[in-house]
Amino acid sequence: MTGSLETKVNNVLRDLNVAGSKIRAGKLFDLSTLESDIQAINRAISKKEGQPPAADTGRLKRQIKTILAGLNHLEKLVTEKKGGQDLPT
C-alpha cells in the first residue's frame, strides 16, 4: 500500500474513533472530514489519482472492512442517541 493511501486509511480509522467518543459524550462531530477522507481512499483505490495499486491487498481489504464496521457502529450510536437510548461502548 502506498504511503499516502496508508495515511488516508489511518486518518479515517482515527476519525472514526474520535467521532464515536464524541457521540458517546453527547458532543457534535463534523463528519465532512471523514467523508472527504473516504472519498480520497475511493479515488486512490480506483486509480483516479494515478497511484500504483496496493501491494498488500489483503491488508487493504481488512482495513476497508474495519472502516465499514466503524461506520456501521457510528450509525448505531447516532440512531441510539437520537432515540435517547443508552449507548454501547
Nearest-Å Rg of the Cα atoms of the chain is 15
Q: What is the pLDDT of residues 51-69, one digit of tens each?
A: 555 567 788 889 999 999 9
> Which triple of cell numbers denotes residue 44?
486512490
Q: What is the pLDDT of residues 3-62, one digit of tens each?
A: 688 888 999 999 999 999 999 898 888 888 899 989 988 888 886 545 555 567 788 889
Distance, first Cα to last Cα, the chain:
31
| Cβ(38)–Cβ(2) below 8 Å | no
pLDDT on residue 51 = 53
Three-class SS of residue 89?
coil
CA distance 12 to 34: 6
CA distance 19 to 61: 22
Among 18, 23, 16, residue whose Cα is nearest residue 88: 23
Q: For the whole prediction, is pTM greater than 0.85?
A: no
